[in-house]
């Protein structure tokens, strides 16, 4: 015999966790009886919403019942047999309930919505204790709003309520990055956020915004640093070749030996000067400088645009610009981020070992792994170590004159 009281209780629980919206957040569907109609009641309910790039969502609703007694074992085995023998009876009632819910959300959001492909399974799991798990799955079209390349999730379940045994998980497609969430979730994972009840979402909640990740967001921090270093080296090499090419074509001509060694013949002062400039550019560590500081800026490597940096790169660059140490609250203010987004990015960096942190009173303080409070003074000395450049410029000019007069 079918256990219709159990089915009705499952459907009623959907109302209890808030899957009824109405225009303007019109409140939850009445919940009468619930699992009081069952011999056993679920220990927890999990709702997972996997949003797709086109705004459709794949829903998975699980009701988990701990099987701690023989009576609970027998009751669940009977339920599993009923589900397997007459699956259509279970899926039809569930689908009808969700179609009604989608119609209400359609009126509130203005998007055409449908519910399809509803399925149900009942299985025993070891988690590690024995649980009976009743799982419903279905697809909800246009569940999320598509705004350009951005996905905005939550208006279809506005005013959702989670009791203390329920949780909501919203996940997004691979290649997307979390933007903002309202309210702050209980947990932020790699590609999902989790709210654990009890949570009474107010009007305009929950909300999740995601967008395709930037061109550098998929590169590990160490790889980004290496890439930036390679760009700087490549830019310097291009600048050197341009300057070397100009020095290698003197008006009076020259031979390969002159260009390679910088030793100019006595009757060719122009070639000697060009060779001296080439030698200075090729050996910057000697301190020689040919005075070409007026070269156009276009020959120098350009800095990377902040808009091309991932969230992690922006945080690391900001803290580095502040000397290697900064309060987390200041990071959020400087980048104009929410506390939740800042926490997510900082947590990822700390997990990867790219940031350290500690508590200072009620504040979170962040620092680079190699930060040395006593090293700031040394850094100032190093910056001041370039003070002799003008004297070296004078020496270079004198050397050029000697080379010309040889």
Residues 60, 142 within the same domain: yes
Residues 29, 65 within the same domain: yes
Residues 256, 345 within the same domain: no
- Long-range contacts of 363-366, Cβ-Cβ distance < 8 Å, separation of 24 or more: 363/327, 363/328, 363/329, 364/327, 364/328, 364/329, 365/325, 365/326, 365/327, 365/328, 366/315, 366/319, 366/325, 366/326, 366/327, 366/328, 366/331
Residues 289, 342 within the same domain: no
Residues 82, 166 within the same domain: yes
Q: Which domain holds residue 337?
A: 310-371
Q: Which of 334, 349, 188 is nearest to 179 (CA)?
A: 188
Residue 217 within a domain: no
Q: Which of 318, 348, 180, 183 is nearest to 327 (CA)?
A: 318
Residues 203, 63 within the same domain: yes
- Total structural domains in the chain? 3
Residues 205, 339 within the same domain: no
| Whole-number pLDDT of residue 351 | 85
Residues 98, 164 within the same domain: yes
Q: How many residues does the chain have?
A: 406
CATH number, position 327: 1.10.10.10
Last residue of a domain, one of 212, 242, 265: 212
Residues 8, 99 within the same domain: yes
Residue 32 within a domain: yes
The one-digit pLDDT tens for each residue of the chain (406 residues) are 333 333 334 444 444 333 433 333 333 332 222 333 334 478 899 999 999 999 999 999 999 999 989 999 999 999 999 999 999 999 999 999 999 999 999 999 999 999 999 999 999 998 778 999 999 999 999 999 999 999 999 999 999 999 999 999 999 999 999 999 999 999 999 999 999 999 999 999 999 999 998 754 444 445 555 666 666 666 666 666 666 555 555 444 444 444 444 444 444 444 444 444 444 444 444 444 444 444 445 455 455 556 678 888 999 999 989 888 999 989 999 998 888 888 889 888 888 888 888 877 778 889 898 887 665 544 444 444 444 444 444 444 444 444 444 4
Contacts of 54 (CB under 8 A, 6+ apart): 146
Residue 222 within a domain: no
């Amino acid at each position: 015999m079918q256990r219709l009281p159990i089915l009705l209780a499952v459907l009623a629980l959907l109302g209890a966790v808030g899957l009824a919206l109405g225009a303007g957040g019109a409140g939850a569907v009445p919940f009468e009886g619930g699992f009081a109609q069952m011999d056993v009641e679920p220990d927890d309910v999990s709702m997972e919403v996997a949003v797709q790039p086109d705004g459709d969502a794949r829903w998975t609703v699980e009701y988990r019942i701990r099987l701690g007694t023989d009576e609970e074992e027998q009751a669940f085995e009977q339920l599993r047999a009923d589900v397997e023998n007459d699956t259509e009876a279970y899926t039809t009632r569930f689908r009808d309930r969700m179609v009604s819910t989608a119609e209400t959300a359609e009126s509130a959001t203005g998007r055409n919505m449908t519910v399809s492909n509803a399925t149900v399974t009942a299985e025993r799991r070891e988690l590690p204790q024995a649980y009976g798990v009743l799982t419903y799955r279905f697809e909800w079209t246009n569940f999320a709003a598509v705004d350009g390349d951005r996905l905005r999730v939550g208006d279809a379940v506005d005013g959702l309520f989670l009791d203390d045994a329920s949780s909501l998980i919203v996940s997004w497609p691979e290649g997307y990055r979390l933007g903002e969430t309202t309210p702050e979730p209980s947990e932020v994972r790699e590609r999902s956020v989790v709210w654990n009840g009890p949570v009474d979402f107010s009007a305009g909640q929950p909300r999740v915004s995601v967008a395709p990740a930037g061109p550098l967001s998929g590169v590990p921090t160490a790889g980004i640093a290496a890439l930036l270093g390679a760009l700087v080296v490549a830019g310097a090499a291009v600048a050197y070749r341009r300057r070397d090419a100009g020095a290698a074509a003197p008006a009076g001509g020259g031979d390969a030996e002159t260009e390679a060694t910088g030793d100019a013949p006595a009757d060719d002062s122009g070639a000697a000067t060009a060779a001296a400039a080439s030698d200075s550019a090729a050996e910057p560590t000697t301190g020689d400088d040919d005075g070409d500081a007026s070269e156009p800026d276009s020959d120098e490597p350009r800095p990377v645009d902040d808009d091309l940096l991932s969230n992690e790169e922006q945080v690391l660059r900001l803290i580095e610009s502040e000397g290697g140490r900064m309060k987390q609250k200041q990071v959020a203010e400087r980048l104009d981020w929410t506390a939740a987004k800042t926490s997510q990015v900082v947590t990822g960096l700390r997990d990867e070992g790219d940031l350290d942190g500690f508590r200072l009173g009620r504040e979170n303080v962040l620092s680079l792994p190699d930060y040395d409070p006593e090293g700031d003074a040394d850094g100032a000395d190093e910056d001041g170590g370039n003070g002799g450049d003008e004297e070296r410029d004078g020496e270079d000019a004198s050397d050029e004159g000697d080379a010309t007069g040889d």
